[in-house]
Amino acid sequence: MVIFLVAPLVLQRYRLPGIIGIILIGAAIGPNGAHLLERDATIELLGEVGLIYLMFIAGLEINLAQFLEYKDRSVVFGLLSFVIPQTVGTVVGVSLLGLELPAALLFAAIFSSHTLLAYPVVNRLGIATDESMTATIGGTILTDTLALLVLAVVIAGVDGTLDAAFWTQLSVGLTLFFVGVWVLVPRLGRWFFRIHSEESYFEFLFVMAVLFICAFLAELVGVEHIIGAFLAGLTLNRLIPESGTLMNRIEFVGNALFIPFFLLSVGMLVNVGVVFEGLDTLALAGSLLVMVFITKYVAAWATGRVYGYDRDQVLGMFGLSVGQAAAALAIVQIGFDAGVPGFGQEMINAVVVMILVVSLFSPALVERAGSALVRAREREAYDPGRTSQRILVPVSRETEHAESLLDLAVTIRNERAHEPIHTVTVVRPEQRSRTTANVAEVEALLEDLEAYTAGAEVPIEPHTRVNHNIASGIVRSSVENRITTLVVGWDGRTARTQQVFGHIIDQVLDRTTELTLVGRLRSPLNTTQRIVLVLPPDIHHNDGFSEALHTVKRISAQTGAPIHGLVVDGNPGHFDRVTTSLEPSTSATFHAVDGWNELFEKLRDETRSDDFLVCVSARRNEVGWHSELRTLPNRLARVTDGNFVVMYPATEERADDRQFLRFS
What is the rounded distance in angstroms from the CA atom of residue 644 to the CA atom of residue 640? 8
Which pLDDT belongs to residue 22? 83
Alpha-carbon span 185 to 658, nearest angstrom = 39
DSSP state, residue 14: T
Separation in Å, CA 247 to CA 241, 448, 456, 489, 509: 7, 20, 8, 25, 34
Highest mean pLDDT among 274-283, 594-603, 635-644, 654-663: 594-603
- Give the confidence band of 663 by pLDDT, cuts at 50, 70, 90: very low
How would you classify the pairing of strands 530-535 and 460-466? Answer: unpaired
CA distance 105 to 121: 32
User: How far is it, in rounded angstroms, from Cα 6 to Cα 208?
Assistant: 28
Task: Provide the mean pLDDT of the chain.
Answer: 82
Kindly indicate the confidence band of residue 382, based on its pLDDT and cuts at 50, 70 and 90.
very low
Q: 80 pLDDT band (50/70/90 cuts)?
A: very high
**pLDDT, average across residues 175-182:** 88
What are the C-alpha distances in Å from 648 to residues 82, 435, 515, 600, 637?
A: 50, 33, 6, 20, 17
Alpha carbons 104 and 591: distance in angstroms, whole number: 55
Q: Quick check: 20 pLDDT over 60?
A: yes
State the CB neighbour count (10 A cutoff) for residue 294.
Answer: 13
- pLDDT tens by residue, 214-266: 999 988 887 778 788 888 988 898 888 777 788 888 888 988 888 889 888 87
At residue 383 the predicted structure's pLDDT band, cuts being 50, 70 and 90, is very low
Helices (H) and strands (E) in the chain, counts: 25, 10
Inform me whether the pLDDT recorded for 73 exceeds 60.
Answer: yes
Task: Of 156-165, 611-620, 632-641, give the lowest mean pLDDT range.
Answer: 156-165
State the Cα–Cα distance between residues 221 and 558, nearest whole angstrom: 33
Mean pLDDT check: name the lowest of 29-43, 109-123, 448-462: 448-462
Q: How high is the pLDDT of residue 497? A: 47
Could you give the percent of the chain with pLDDT greater than 70? 90
- Residue 624's pLDDT band (boundaries 50, 70, 90)? confident
DSSP 661: B
Instruction: Please list the residues that pair with 616 across neighbouring strands.
Output: 647
Q: Give the pLDDT band of residue 72 (cuts 50, 70, 90).
A: confident
Exposure b/e, 595-634, CB count within 10 A at least 16 = b: ebeebbebbeeebeeebbbbbbbbbeebbbbbebbeebbe
DSSP three-state, residue 518: strand
Of 123-127, 499-503, 547-551, 629-633, the range with the highest mean pLDDT is 547-551
Q: Are strands 515-520 and 643-648 parallel, antiparallel or unpaired?
A: antiparallel
In the prediction, which pLDDT does 452 show?
Answer: 77
Q: In which band, very low, low, confident or very high, does the pLDDT at 156 lie, cut at 50, 70 and 90?
A: confident
Written as one string, the DSSP assignment of 167-210 is HHHHHHHHHHHHHHHHHHHHHHHHHHHHHT-S--HHHHHHHHHH
- pLDDT (tens digit, 9 = 90+) per residue, 442-483? 888 878 877 777 776 788 888 888 888 888 889 998 898 889
Model confidence band, residue 208 (pLDDT cutoffs 50, 70, 90): very high
CA distances from 481 to 364, 408, 507, 534 (A): 42, 20, 19, 31
- Please report, as a single letter, which amino acid is at residue 288: L
If we measure between CA atoms, which residue out of 401, 408, 451 comes closest to residue 558?
408
For 399, phi then psi, to 5°, come to: -65, 145
Q: What is the pLDDT of residue 403?
A: 83
> For residue 470, what pLDDT is reported?
87
Contacts 24+ apart (CB under 8 A), 445-454: 445/395, 445/397, 445/402, 446/395, 449/395, 449/402, 449/403, 449/406, 449/423, 452/199, 452/245, 452/403, 452/406, 453/245, 453/406, 453/410, 453/421
> 391: pLDDT confidence band, cut at 50, 70 and 90?
very high
**Short-list 215, 253, 219, CA closest to 232:** 215
Residue 197 pLDDT: 61
Angle 657-659-664 from CA coordinates, rounded to 5°: 125
Higher pLDDT, 347 or 213: 213
Q: Pick the closest to residue 655 from 547, 498, 497, 535 (CA basis).
A: 547
| Structure confidence at residue 278 (pLDDT) | 64
pLDDT value of residue 517: 92
Lowest mean pLDDT among 166-180, 330-344, 529-543: 330-344
CB 664 within 8 A of CB 525: no
Percentage, residues of the chain above pLDDT 90: 14
> Does 544 have pLDDT greater than 70?
yes
What are 307-351's pLDDT values in tens digits?
889 999 999 999 988 888 767 777 777 777 777 887 777 787 788
User: Is the whole-model pTM more than 0.85?
Assistant: no
pLDDT, residue 199, reads 60
Range of weakest confidence among 172-181, 267-276, 349-358, 484-493: 267-276
- Residue 352's pLDDT is 78
Residue 531 clears pLDDT 60, i.e. is over it: yes
Q: Could you write out the DSSP letters of every residue in 529-584?
A: -EEEEEE-TTGGGSTTHHHHHHHHHHHHHHHTPPEEEEEETS-HHHHHHHHHHBSS
CA dihedral 80, 86, 87, 92 (to 10 degrees): 140
Alpha carbons 462 and 321: distance in angstroms, whole number: 45
Q: Which of 100-104, 386-390, 412-416 has the highest mean pLDDT?
A: 100-104
Instruction: Judge whether 26 and 44 are in contact, CB under 8 Å.
Output: no
Q: Answer yes or no: is pLDDT of 572 > 90.
A: no
Cα dihedral across residues 466, 469, 470, 474: positive or negative: negative
